[in-house]
Amino acid sequence: TDHGELGNHHGYGPDIDHVLLSEEQIREKIEELAAQIAVDYAGKEVLLVGVLKGAVLFMSDFARALRLPTQMEFMAVSSYGSATSSSGVVRILKDLDRDISDRHVLVIEDIIDSGLTLSWLLKNLGGRRPASLEVCALLRKPDAVKVDVPVRYVGFDIPNEFVVGYGLDYAERYRDLPYIATLKPEVYQ
């Protein structure tokens, strides 16, 4: 692999197997999503709810691309399970700071895999009586179709591979990569 081409960010180059989505592809998709959402929410004040920590980079770029008045809240949840799969049993690590009743809430997610985390989250947030509640996820994996979670906006449908970068981690590493990639098998050993 030519690590120069990958930009060997933070010295991660040797760990990267292949780049799934480049910086340019991500940037273009965010512009597309933002253009659509700006139309759908015209005249409304949007409350972006970012799900920590994976959605932080996406939320930051998306909020700037949207060009609508938005406010930001964050929530951190942890699903009991292994490092690479979730169980659907969710615990709130950090709750929203404010009431969301009568607000137009747009949940910003990094990736939907089983959909169990999101399904729980939507039930929880829905109970707080927002004026509207929708989801914008950058990535979606094939298993997500098995659970009936209404996701209005999706950036990319990706294959069933474990990916890192652009907010997504493996053991808390690689979130700072500017692109989305897979890791070499030896990294997991």
**What's the Rg (C-alpha) of the chain?**
17
Minimum distance, C-beta of residue 117 to Mg ion, in the bound complex (Å): 6
Nearest CA-CA partner of 157 in 178, 183, 138: 138
Minimum distance, C-beta of residue 82 to Mg ion, in the bound complex (Å): 11
Residue 114 binding result from Mg ion, ligand 5GP, none, given CB thresholds of 5 to 8 Å by partner type: ligand 5GP
Residue 6 binding result from ligand 5GP, Mg ion, none, given CB thresholds of 5 to 8 Å by partner type: none
Of 41, 46, 110, 183, the one binding Mg ion (CB under 5 A) is: 110
* Residue 49 within binding range of ligand 5GP, rule CB under 6 A: no
* Residue 113 within binding range of ligand 5GP, rule CB under 6 A: yes
* Residue 112 within binding range of ligand 5GP, rule CB under 6 A: yes
Minimum distance, C-beta of residue 51 to Mg ion, in the bound complex (Å): 5
Stretch that binds ligand 5GP, among 8-16, 57-65, 99-107, 160-168 (CB under 6 A): 160-168
Identify the active-site residue in 15, 17, 113, 148: 113
SS in 3 state form for the chain?
A: CCHHHHCCHHHCHHHEEEEEECHHHHHHHHHHHHHHHHHHCCCCCEEEEEEECCCHHHHHHHHHHHCCCEEEEEEEEEECCCCCCCCCCEEEEECCCCCCCCCEEEEEEEEECCCHHHHHHHHHHHCCCCCEEEEEEEEECHHHHHCCCCCCEEEEECCCCCEEECCECECCECCCCCCEEEECHHHHC
* Residue 47 within binding range of ligand 5GP, rule CB under 6 A: no
Tokens representing residue 149 in the block: 């979670």
Of 19, 49, 117, 153, the one binding ligand 5GP (CB under 6 A) is: 117
113 is catalytic: yes
**Binding positions for Mg ion, 157-176, rule CB under 5 A:** 169
Q: Which residues bind Mg ion (CB under 5 A)?
A: 51, 54, 109-110, 169
Active site residues: 113
